[in-house]
Amino acid sequence: MNAEKRHRIYATLAKANPNPKTELEFGNPFQLLIAVLLSAQATDKSVNAATRRFFPTVKTPADLLAMGEANLADAIKTIGLFRNKAKNAIATAQQLITLHGGEVPHDRAALEALPGVGRKTANVVLNEAFGDATLAVDTHVFRVANRMKLAPGKTVDEVERKLMKFTPPEFLRGAHHWLILHGRYTCVARNPKCGICPVFDDCEFTGKTKSEPFP
């Protein structure tokens, strides 16, 4: 895909959603970190339903430690891998207090050193909480980047590198939000909704068609 097409795709998505945000609900960087940690192999909707049970009173790492692992596990039992996630969330809260004065660090290495926090989670926190131009490649971004030929790659790391390299600078801050939302609601895994796609003309998906009916 050439640079002109990429620019038009991002410009179109940006025009429709000038200030993209994560669909996870949070009130501060710590709550964002916990929400993203819980979102692995779970939908944002299910995570939001779980965090609404305790975010009103759990706003800091100290609050989460006071809540305790058992109570946290009970609050998030409706999402996948809840026991392991509760364990990691409590350990992360403890490390934030011990190593970072109870604050979420604005540093990739420090974030990735936290229990249960990988590169994708760190990218989301750096982007959403601190405004960094990072690209978190989840299943939606990976699919869209490959299907549209926006930044094809065989691995998550390869797709991230290519997106960082080829995304026009003015769109880097919002790119992963636009691609996630596009993949979640339009360029879905099965039966992509090409008939209503705003970037149909610039997409290089070989199977695209405007003729199929959509639910």
In this predicted structure, what is the pLDDT of residue 210? Answer: 77
Structural domain ending residue among the three candidates 130, 152, 174? 130
In this predicted structure, what is the pLDDT of residue 213? Answer: 46
Integer Cα distance of 76 and 42 in angstroms? 11
209: left (phi over 0), alpha (psi -120 to 50) or beta: beta
In this predicted structure, what is the pLDDT of residue 85? Answer: 96
Residue 47 near residue 82 (C-beta atoms within 8 A): no
Structural domain ending residue among the three candidates 95, 130, 165? 130
Q: In the predicted model, what is the mean pLDDT of residues 57-70?
A: 97
Whole-number CA gyration radius for the chain? 18
Q: What are the distances in angstroms from CA 141 to CA 5, 70, 92? A: 17, 34, 26
Find the CATH number of the domain harbouring 49. 1.10.340.30
From 81, 88, 94, 30, select the one nearest 58 (Cα to Cα): 30
Residues 51 and 123 in one domain: yes
Mean pLDDT of all residues in the chain? 94
Q: Which amino acid is at 204?
A: E
| Cα of 10 vs its chain's centroid, Å | 17
Residue 201 lies in a domain: no
Structural domain ending residue among the three candidates 130, 154, 183? 130
Question: Which percentage of the chain shows pLDDT scores above 90?
Answer: 92
Residues 56 and 81 in one domain: yes
pLDDT at 5 over 90: yes
State pLDDT tens for residues 158-192.
999 999 999 999 999 999 999 999 999 999 999 99
Catalytic residues: 120, 138
In this predicted structure, what is the pLDDT of residue 33? Answer: 97
State pLDDT tens for residues 111-150.
999 999 999 999 999 999 999 999 999 999 999 999 999 9
From 132, 127, 110, 109, select the one nearest 180 (Cα to Cα): 127
Neighbours of 144 (CB within 10 A): 28
